[in-house]
């Protein structure tokens, strides 16, 4: 069910926007949340939470949608459509898990690159685009303050977001040549192509 | 001339039989084509010649990249892009898109549907005919706040509308088939579309939402005869009953679509079918049933005039404003477009 972002989730999300250096953007956004779909069927009707404690449980796992304007946001809350706006990630157990659409926002609005990132050389970019983990030798530039187990944005040499990764090492250790140093969490190929269900659909429609 | 065994209403002759045999169609289809497709044999010849290397078009997605930068970028990679009548749309030269495998053997370029630029949503692979239809909606960022895309999946036209609105205002998209929802979501997300709300429901129910629209696009579910160049099974997989079923659904949908249009609002009705029953007849019937007399057909820029008669049916003279696009003439899918305007109601 679409609803306004609950206060607890808003705190998490604001902190994330701040950490990624795009805090100014938050206030300009019309955000709604929804529990992520369990199966792949977008159902027409969804159950409302029964009571307060159910509601709290629901708030532990929320998909974050950005709408274009207030009218769209209100429409989603009133009419409960199958989908609205663009999904930028998930709030799960008080953490924000960004997706590639969020990464694109960061790249566009934070050109100073003061956020966790790794830039890959061309050949590896192509492999990573389709799911490969990242070898240290593939990294040609990275955010200096990188920590172990940190979520970072994977960029190609044109500084376009091609994935989201998680560092296995901190600082310079991330470039160790013979090891996987970044796990591929979400790459542009699988992120989008898994959704490219060509069920009866032709390119060209 | 004799009656077709399967459909006694359709007359065929030696010529239609010969063409059906030569090009592998059902006889009744050819007999019908001969009644309304200009130069039918050259259509069949064109389809035959181009079935494995048909014209493929891409549309730059200005929400993410303007068309000049896109052209430059893909050209640098080795693709050949040709300009078309629409600024955002390019024809991809055959040499680089002929292969069906992931890599084109001749050029070693990835197919146009598997480049980084595609995944990033910098462009959409979309037939020129579809782009023309959206262009005819006359959407401008300031004037059109609410747009209905009544049959939306996989989102080719929704994403183009969103781009024309610069991601502002509101698009309401309907798609009743849950299986086709995934591709719609994929395309909206890939193209960075934010201003769209999707309802998993048939377009006939749209009135229940209580919203009136400045623009309505009804890209109706159809028999898809017009994409036979891309899908050869269409030569044999359909029968007249399918056309009839589509036609009934289309008449209901267009009625609902017109119902939710604001006064002075515009609506585009289109299909990728050649069949008059799915095209002119649907629009003609809507006009006939329009007791309020508050509807007019507007002229369109591209294509050849729609039919004003078919068999013993006479359509409204205005139907010549509708347009037909043919693969052998326009190098697009077979396509039909009609543009309607709802007149301001007369205050007495
Ligand atoms: C020609 S396709 C639309 C293509 C789409 N407009 C695009 O440009 O990508 C027709 C769509 O209508 C959907 N459809 C079928 N019955 C419908 C109905 N009653 N109301 C709305 N859509 C319907 C089909 O599932 C299909 O996705």
Per-residue pLDDT averaged across A153-173, rounded?
Answer: 96
Q: Which residues of A touch B193 (CB under 8 A)?
A: 86
Does residue A18 form part of some domain?
yes
Provide the 3-class DSSP secondary structure of residue A34: strand
The verdict on the CB of residue B221 being under 6 Å from ligand 1 is yes
* Helix residue spans in chain B (DSSP H): 14-23, 27-36, 40-50, 67-77, 116-119, 128-135, 156-164, 181-190, 240-259, 280-289, 327-330
- Whether residues A7 and A87 share a domain: the answer is yes
Determine the residue of B129, B132, B137, B151 to mutate for testing ligand 1's pocket, defined as the one with the most ligand atoms within 8 A of the Cβ atom. Answer: B151
Whether A52 shows a pLDDT value over 70: the answer reads no
Q: Which of B130, B148, B164, B186 to mutate to test the interface with A (most CBs of A within 10 A)?
A: B186
Is A202 in CB contact (< 8 Å) with chain B?
A: yes
DSSP string covering B126-165, please? B-HHHHHHHHTT---TTT--EEEESS-TT-HHHHHHHHHT
Does residue A199 form part of some domain?
no
The answer for A 29-58 residues in CB contact with B (under 8 A) is: 40-44
| ipTM of predicted assembly, 2 dp | 0.89
* Residue nearest to ligand 1 atom 24, measured at CA: B221
| A85 neighbors A92 (Cβ within 8 angstroms) | no
pLDDT band with cut points at 50, 70 and 90 for residue A167: very high
- Whether residues A125 and A187 share a domain: the answer is yes
Which domain range does residue A184 map to? 109-193
Q: What is the pLDDT along chain B (348 residues), one digit of tens a residue?
A: 666 666 655 667 888 999 999 999 988 899 999 999 999 999 999 998 888 777 799 999 999 999 999 999 999 999 999 999 999 999 998 544 444 444 444 467 888 998 999 999 999 999 999 999 999 999 987 767 899 999 999 999 999 999 999 999 999 999 999 999 999 999 999 999 999 999 999 999 999 999 999 999 999 999 998 888 788 887 877 788 999 999 999 999 999 999 999 999 999 999 999 999 999 999 999 999 988 889 999 999 999 999 999 988 999 999 999 999 999 999 999 999 999 999 987 554
Q: How far apart are CA B213 and CA B199, in angstroms?
A: 15
pLDDT of residue B235: 82
Q: How far apart are CA B205 and CA B36, in angstroms?
A: 34
Each residue of A20-31: pLDDT tens digit?
A: 999 999 999 999
Could you give phi then psi for residue B342, rounded to 5 degrees? -90, 125
Does residue A14 form part of some domain?
yes
Final residue belonging to a domain, choices A98, A130, A151: A98
- Whether residues A8 and A88 share a domain: the answer is yes
Does residue A138 form part of some domain?
yes
pTM listed for this prediction? 0.92
Q: How far apart are CA A143 and CA A122, in angstroms?
A: 18
- Whether residues A122 and A68 share a domain: the answer is no
What structural domains and CATH numbers belong to chain B?
Answer: 2-36 (no CATH), 138-342 (3.40.50.150)
Taking each continuous run of H as one helix and of E as one strand, the counts in chain B are: 11, 17
C-alpha A22 to ligand 1 mean position (Å):
38
Pairing of strands B213-219, B146-149: parallel
Does residue A204 form part of some domain?
no
pLDDT of residue A193: 67
Question: Pick from B265, B277, B295: which is nearest to B336 by CA?
Answer: B277
Does residue A104 form part of some domain?
no
Q: How far apart are CA A179 and CA A119, in angstroms?
A: 16
Q: Do A205 and B154 touch (CB under 8 A)?
A: yes
pLDDT of residue A55: 64
Does residue A200 form part of some domain?
no
The verdict on the CB of residue B204 being under 6 Å from ligand 1 is yes
Final residue belonging to a domain, choices A98, A117, A133: A98
- Whether residues A117 and A81 share a domain: the answer is no
Give the CA radius of gyration of chain B.
Answer: 20
Cα of first residue to Cα of last residue in chain B, in angstroms, is 56
Final residue belonging to a domain, choices A98, A123, A147: A98
pLDDT of residue B7: 61
Which CATH number covers residue A119? 2.30.130.10
**Residues of B known to be catalytic:** 272
The verdict on the CB of residue B157 being under 6 Å from ligand 1 is yes
| Residues forming a β-bridge with B82 | B91
The verdict on the CB of residue B334 being under 6 Å from ligand 1 is no
C-alpha A101 to ligand 1 mean position (Å):
26
Could you give phi then psi for residue A181, rounded to 5 degrees? -115, -15
Whether A205 shows a pLDDT value over 80: the answer reads no
Q: Determine the longest span between alpha carbons in chain B, in angstroms.
A: 69
pLDDT of residue B11: 63
- Whether residues A36 and A90 share a domain: the answer is yes
- Whether residues A47 and A79 share a domain: the answer is yes
pLDDT of residue B238: 78
Cis check: omega of the bond before A66, within 30 degrees of 0 = no
List C-alpha distances in Å: B156 to A184, A204, B219, B222, B332.
Answer: 30, 7, 10, 16, 15
Does residue A205 form part of some domain?
no
Whether A162 shows a pLDDT value over 60: the answer reads yes
Q: Which residues of B touch A156 (CB under 8 A)?
A: 116
Q: Which residues of A touch B182 (CB under 8 A)?
A: 40, 195, 197, 199
- Whether residues A83 and A24 share a domain: the answer is yes
The answer for A 116-155 residues in CB contact with B (under 8 A) is: 125-126, 129
- CA angle B73–B74–B79, rounded 5-degree value: 150
Q: Do B183 and A83 touch (CB under 8 A)?
A: no
- Whether residues A131 and A179 share a domain: the answer is yes
Q: How many domains does chain A have?
A: 2
Determine the residue of B159, B221, B222, B336 to mutate for testing ligand 1's pocket, defined as the one with the most ligand atoms within 8 A of the Cβ atom. Answer: B221
- Whether residues A75 and A128 share a domain: the answer is no
- Whether residues A153 and A175 share a domain: the answer is yes
- Whether residues A153 and A185 share a domain: the answer is yes
For the CA of B150, the closest atom of ligand 1 is 21
- CA angle B217–B219–B220, rounded 5-degree value: 125
Q: Do A188 and B116 touch (CB under 8 A)?
A: yes
**Chain B residue with minimum CA distance to A196:** B183
pLDDT of residue A91: 96
Q: Which residues of A touch B181 (CB under 8 A)?
A: 42, 82-83
């Amino acid at each position: 069910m679409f609803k306004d972002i609950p206060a607890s989730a808003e705190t998490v999300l604001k902190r994330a926007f701040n950490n990624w250096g795009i805090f100014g953007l938050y206030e300009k956004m019309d955000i709604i949340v929804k529990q992520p779909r369990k199966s792949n069927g977008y159902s027409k009707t969804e159950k409302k939470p029964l009571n307060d404690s159910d509601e709290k449980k629901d708030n532990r796992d929320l998909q974050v949608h950005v709408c274009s304007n207030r009218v769209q946001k209100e429409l989603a809350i009133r009419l409960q459509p199958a989908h609205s706006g663009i999904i930028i990630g998930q709030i799960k157990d008080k953490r924000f898990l960004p997706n590639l659409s969020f990464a694109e926002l960061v790249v566009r609005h934070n050109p100073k690159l003061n956020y966790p990132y790794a830039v890959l050389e061309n050949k590896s970019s192509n492999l990573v685009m389709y799911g490969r983990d990242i070898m240290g030798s593939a990294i040609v530039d990275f955010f200096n303050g990188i920590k172990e187990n940190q979520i970072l944005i994977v960029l190609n040499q044109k500084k376009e977001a091609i994935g989201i990764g998680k560092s296995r090492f901190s600082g310079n250790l991330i470039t160790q040549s013979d090891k996987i140093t970044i796990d591929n969490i979400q790459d542009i190929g699988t992120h989008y192509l898994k959704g490219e269900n060509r069920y009866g659909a032709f390119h060209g429609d | 001339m004799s009656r077709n065994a399967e459909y006694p209403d359709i007359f065929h002759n030696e010529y239609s039989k010969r063409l059906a045999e030569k090009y592998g169609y059902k006889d009744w289809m050819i007999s019908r084509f001969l009644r309304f497709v200009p130069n039918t044999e050259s259509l069949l010849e064109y389809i035959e010649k181009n079935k494995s290397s048909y014209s493929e078009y891409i549309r730059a997605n200005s929400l993410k990249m303007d068309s000049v930068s896109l052209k430059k970028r893909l050209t640098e990679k080795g693709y050949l892009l040709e300009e078309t009548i629409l600024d955002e749309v390019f024809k991809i030269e055959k040499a680089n898109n002929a292969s069906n495998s992931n890599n084109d053997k001749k050029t070693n370029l990835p197919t146009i549907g598997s480049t980084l630029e595609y995944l990033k949503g910098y462009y959409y692979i979309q037939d020129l005919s579809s782009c023309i239809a959206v262009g005819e909606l006359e959407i401008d960022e300031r004037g059109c706040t609410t747009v209905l895309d009544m049959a939306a999946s996989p989102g080719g036209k929704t994403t183009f509308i969103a781009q024309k609105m610069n991601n502002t205002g509101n698009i309401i998209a309907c798609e009743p088939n849950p299986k086709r929802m995934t591709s719609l979501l994929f395309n909206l997300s890939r193209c960075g579309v934010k201003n769209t709300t999707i309802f998993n429901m048939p377009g006939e129910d749209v009135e229940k939402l209580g919203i009136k629209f400045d623009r309505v696009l009804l890209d109706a579910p159809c028999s898809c005869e017009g994409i036979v160049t891309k899908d050869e099974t269409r030569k044999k997989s359909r029968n007249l009953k399918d056309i009839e079923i589509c036609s009934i659904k289309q008449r209901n949908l267009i009625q609902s679509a017109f119902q939710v249009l604001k006064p002075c609002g515009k609506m585009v009705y289109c299909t990728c079918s050649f069949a008059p029953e799915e095209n002119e007849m649907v629009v003609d019937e809507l006009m006939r049933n329009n007791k309020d007399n508050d509807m007019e057909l507007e002229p369109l820029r591209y294509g050849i005039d729609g039919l004003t008669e078919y068999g013993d049916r006479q359509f409204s003279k205005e139907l010549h404003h509708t347009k037909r696009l043919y693969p052998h003439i326009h190098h697009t899918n077979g396509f039909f477009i009609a543009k309607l305007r709802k007149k301001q109601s007369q205050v007495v």
